[in-house]
């Protein structure tokens, strides 16, 4: 592995932070009684709808907590981010399937965006898994780790 430092991609990218915040807000609104989309109410039983809404809340809270953890607690932050992004990917996949199942070709617009969010979530989830494995190997080899800052203020 050589003498170069290991660089881990930070989850503090504005796109990820905004998406996780939106998941929390939407999940909270659904939990507090906002109108459930027709595709969800048609395709998912009430219990699954409740799990889906709570999943959005958990995704937002865990993911945002993970990206907010100070860099010196990198493993904790990545673990929380992994949880949040995994739950977000699951919730987005569920919604995407319900859109296409209920609306078929009429779901192209909304389904396209939600499917892209699901793919992006799973992609980020994979990146975190790779980073965690690399961190484990780096720790065994006694390497240093660098986390580039995308947002100032966390040292």
pLDDT digits (tens, 9 = 90+) for 39-69: 999 999 999 999 999 999 999 999 999 999 9
**Residue 6 DSSP SS3:** strand
Q: Whole-angstrom Cα distance, residue 104 to residue 89? A: 21
On the question of pLDDT at 75 being above 60, the answer is yes
Q: What is the mean pLDDT of the chain?
A: 89
At residue 3 the predicted structure's pLDDT band, cuts being 50, 70 and 90, is low
pLDDT digits (tens, 9 = 90+) for 94-125: 999 999 999 999 999 999 999 999 999 999 99
Domain assignment of residue 151, yes or no: no
Provide the residue count of the chain: 155
pTM given for the model: 0.87
Q: Whole-angstrom Cα distance, residue 45 to residue 144? A: 49
Both tokens assigned to 123:
């992609």
Domain assignment of residue 54, yes or no: yes
Helix axes of 108-141 and 14-31: crossing angle, nearest 10 degrees:
120
How many C-alpha atoms does 114 have within 13 Å on its Cβ side? 19
DSSP run (H or E) holding 145: strand 145-146
Domain total in the chain: 1
Q: Whole-angstrom Cα distance, residue 19 to residue 74? A: 21
Domain assignment of residue 155, yes or no: no
Domain assignment of residue 21, yes or no: yes
Query: Could you list the residue range(s) of the whole structural domain that residue 26 is in?
Result: 6-146
Both tokens assigned to 63:
């993911």
How many C-alpha atoms does 78 have within 13 Å on its Cβ side? 22
Domain assignment of residue 35, yes or no: yes
Domain assignment of residue 46, yes or no: yes
Both tokens assigned to 15:
């796109």
Domain assignment of residue 61, yes or no: yes
């Amino acid at each position: 592995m050589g003498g170069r430092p290991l660089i881990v991609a930070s989850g503090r990218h504005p796109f990820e932070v905004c998406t996780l915040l939106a998941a929390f807000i939407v999940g909270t609104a659904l939990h507090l009684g906002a109108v459930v989309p027709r595709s969800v109410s048609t395709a998912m039983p009430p219990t699954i709808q409740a799990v889906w809404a709570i999943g959005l809340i958990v995704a937002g809270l865990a993911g945002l907590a993970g990206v907010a953890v100070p860099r010196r607690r990198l493993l904790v932050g990545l673990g929380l981010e992994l949880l949040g992004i995994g739950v977000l990917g699951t919730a987005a996949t569920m919604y995407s399937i319900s859109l296409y199942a209920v609306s078929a070709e009429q779901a192209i617009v909304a389904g396209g965006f939600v499917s892209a969010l699901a793919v992006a979530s799973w992609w980020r989830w994979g990146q975190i898994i790779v980073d965690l494995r690399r961190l484990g190997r780096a720790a065994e080899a006694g390497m240093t780790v660098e986390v580039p800052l995308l947002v100032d203020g966390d040292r």
